[in-house]
Amino acid sequence: MNLIECRLSDYMLGCIQLDNMGCAGSSQTKAEGTAKKIRKPKAWKHPQPITKSQLIQLREEFWDTAPHYGGTKEIWDALRAAAEADLTLAQAIVDSAGIIVQNPDLTVCFDERGARYELPKYVLSEPKNLIRSS
C-alpha cells in the first residue's frame, strides 16, 4: 500500500491509503476512536515564589499575546476556556473544538489543520511555591 495523504487530523482517525488496485481505504491506528483524556499538569515550581496576583498577571499576559504565536483565535479561546474549567468540562471543550491533545496536561495541542498550540503550566495550574495571602 502507498500512503498518499496523512494530515494530522487523519492520523487520529486513520490515514487515507491506496492499495495496488487504486482503491481507497483507511488504515487502523492505535489512536482510532480513543481521544486522550486530559489531566492537570504535574506539580511544578515557579523560579521564584509568586503571589496569586502575579500569577493572574502572567496568565493575562499570555492569553493576550497567545494568538500572535499562530493558530486561530477560536482555538486559543477554547484552550483558555478549557484551562480555566474543571477537567470534565475541559475535556468536553477540547473534544467539541476538535483540538488534538498531544500531551494530556494540555501543554501541547494541535488544531485539525496541524497548527501547534503550546500552553505554559502557569495557565493550567498553580505552582507549589505560590505565596498564599493571609
CB 98 within 8 A of CB 112: yes
Average pLDDT over the chain, rounded to whole? 78
- pLDDT at position 134: 55
CB 12 within 8 A of CB 118: no
Average pLDDT over residues 119-131: 92
Q: What is the pLDDT of residues 6-54, one digit of tens each?
A: 333 333 333 333 334 443 433 333 344 446 788 888 888 889 999 999 9
C-alpha cell at 29: 491506528
Predicted TM-score (pTM) of the model is 0.71
Single out the residue of 44, 60, 80, 56 nearest to residue 133, CA to CA. 56
